[in-house]
Amino acid sequence: MRDSLRHFAAELIGTFALVFLGGAAIMSATFTGSQSSLLEIALAHGLVIAVMVTAFMRISGHFNPAVTIGFLAVRRIDPMMAGVYIVGQLVGAMLGAYLLKSVFPDPIFAAARGGGQFISLDITGTQAFVAELVATFLFVLVVFGTAVDPKAPRVGGLAIGFAITAGILAIGPITGGSMNPARSFGPAVASAVYEGQVIYWTAPILGGVLAALLYEYLFLRGAPEPVDHGTVRPA
């Protein structure tokens, strides 16, 4: 398996940064009682994804099982390497969450559920599922349109970060705006609160796969893969 350790480390570090910095923004808002907390949280997540994708996109840059499984569905990554990516993402997410637990006071960590997400009592599980599915679908379309399509403008991870920010601003108040199973799983393990995990796994994965299939077979139609895109390969 080519460069598996390098890809594992990149996915671990990127997902660790997302969980630690995104979770820290959530806990800091809880700690200070900030009135603009949603915007701050959305920007924190979007900025960290933008810089991490830009830093690591030559190597990998998924940081999200929904993205990796979308790539797998259209055969842009082989199954063994997809497993390496996802394990790296989950380990990085758990490390980030446990470091948050060691940094923030226990009451703040508990109140913020480890920096994770929760589903509002004002919506049903079906509504939460649809919200996460649609937000992830749009996010993964942006990933394919900016990082996969060889004719796309080279803007690094900026557009991907904007997509995350927009998703959290849109659905953050009702689902937390996960769009990423690893982002929800790490804090769930560290806080031992697993509420909504079925939705946080199934909806983003389905949305990511649908977006990957749509872009691959409608917009790309077998275009060659950029040579700087790690282990992925053309369908």
Residue 177 belongs to domain with CATH number: 1.20.1080.10
| Structural domain contains residue 230 | no
Domain containing 37 equals 4-220
| Structural domain contains residue 226 | no
pLDDT confidence band for 34 (50 / 70 / 90)? low
What is the model's pLDDT at position 156? 86
Ranges 79-93, 142-156, 217-231, most confident: 79-93
| Structural domain contains residue 109 | yes
Q: Hunting for tokens 């989950």 — which residue is that?
A: 90
What region, left, alpha or beta, does residue 225 occupy, with left being phi > 0 and alpha being psi -120 to 50 degrees?
A: beta
Residue 216 has pLDDT above 90, yes or no: yes
Model's pTM, two decimal places? Answer: 0.91
| Structural domain contains residue 232 | no
Q: What is the mean pLDDT of the chain?
A: 91
What is the model's pLDDT at position 225? 52
What is the model's pLDDT at position 234? 44
Number of domains in the chain: 1
| Structural domain contains residue 231 | no
Q: Are 39 and 74 in contact (CB under 8 A)?
A: no
Give me the percent of the chain exceeding a pLDDT of 70: 91
Averaged pLDDT for residues 69-96: 97
Burial annotation 189-215 (CB, 10 A radius, 16+ → b, else e)? bbbeeeebbebbbebbbbbbbbbbebb
Averaged pLDDT for residues 217-226: 71
